[in-house]
Chain A
Amino acid sequence: MYEERITTIIEGPAQDFDIVVRITREEDIAVARQMAKQLAQEIGFSLADVTRIATAVSELARNIYRYARQGRIMIRKRLEDRDSPGIEVIAADRGPGIPDIELVLTRGYTTWERSLGIGLSGVKRLMDSFAIHSEVGKGTVVITEKRRRTF
């Protein structure tokens, strides 16, 4: 069931998303960040939220590049709720997986030498919802969402 989910997300049709960025090179991190920013602006997010979303995507893309070498960032508008449209960001990879999710969500914890250890916990703080599925040896999927605030 779980594996099916990762496969569906990684190999699923790209047309389900507004943006799909394959992360294979370091430059792709900035590309994903830039595209997320554009889409968030299109949806009408405030500048503060656009910055939060772009930063979160930057963190997610870098995690893919660092730990899994390659994967995908997939982003789509969520317009079902007219009063509060949103943006969904999915980061998926078939990397080594995370043995202890609670540990990696601990602020300051990192296995990377040059890192503050606040990437994933930061994403969780910046976005409205955050779910992570990971299995050692299989891969990791992070699903997050941000809703536009109604004024």
Chain B
Amino acid sequence: MMSFEDRVVPIMQVNGYLLVPIQIDLDDRTVGLLQQQLLKEIERTRAKAVILDVRMVEVIDSYISYTLSETAAMARLMGCRTVLCGIQPPVALTLAQMGVVLQEVTVARNLEHALVLAGSFQERDRGV
């Protein structure tokens, strides 16, 4: 179990998914802790998908982008998909202008869409 201080986000379990609202300023240390916390929770819960809600995140720079992609790649190796939802328009604009590509991450329009996507992965993985 992680010590309480190392947990930077609340993680909720819904239908075999992990729902993660990110409501903190992602500095370099925090984004590293977020990665560790997510991987531990994925291992512990055997979640099929993790949904990151970044509605409250005001700045996503290249390092945060890199770490999110890296986390998603790690999760994928553990059999878990990563869906990102809620990217704010100014953040989307900035990322697009910088040419950031979030590899390994599936982007959803909103939380509802994220849940639909997470469900579709589950079906695909089951071979339905």
Q: Considering the complex, give the chain A residue whose CB is closest to the CB of B63.
A: A62
Contact indicator A47/B27 (Cβ below 8 Å): no
A-B contact pairs, 15 of them (CB 8 A): A29-B28, A48-B90, A48-B93, A50-B90, A51-B59, A51-B91, A51-B94, A52-B97, A55-B61, A55-B98, A58-B63, A116-B62, A118-B99, A119-B62, A119-B63
**What is the size, in residues, of chain A's interface with B at 8 Å between Cβ atoms?**
27
Chain B stretch 48-86: residues in CB contact (< 8 A) with chain A: 58-63, 65-67, 70
Contact indicator B90/A51 (Cβ below 8 Å): yes
Question: B66 is contacted by which of A26, A29, A37, A114 (Cβ under 8 Å)?
Answer: A114
Given known A-B contacts A47-B90, A51-B94, A122-B99, A116 and B25 have beta carbons under 8 A apart: no
Given known A-B contacts A34-B25, A118-B99, A59 and B62 have beta carbons under 8 A apart: yes
A129 CA to B108 CA, complexed, in Å: 34
Given known A-B contacts A33-B59, A55-B59, A118-B62, A27 and B94 have beta carbons under 8 A apart: no
Q: Using Cβ atoms and an 8 Å threshold, which residues of chain A touch B67?
A: 114
Contact indicator B65/A126 (Cβ below 8 Å): no
B residues whose Cβ falls under 8 Å from a Cβ of A: 25, 27-29, 58-63, 65-67, 70, 88-91, 93-94, 97-100
User: Dominant SS at the B interface?
Assistant: helix
User: Dominant SS at the A interface?
Assistant: helix
Q: Considering the complex, give the chain B residue whose CB is closest to the CB of A26.
A: B28
Given known A-B contacts A115-B66, A122-B98, A27 and B29 have beta carbons under 8 A apart: yes
Minimum Cβ distance to chain A for residue B55 (Å):
14
A116 CA to B70 CA, complexed, in Å: 11
Q: Using Cβ atoms and an 8 Å threshold, which residues of chain A touch B93?
A: 48, 51-52
Interface check A43, CB cutoff 8 A = no
A102 CA to B59 CA, complexed, in Å: 27
Q: Using Cβ atoms and an 8 Å threshold, which residues of chain A touch B99?
A: 107, 118, 121-122, 125
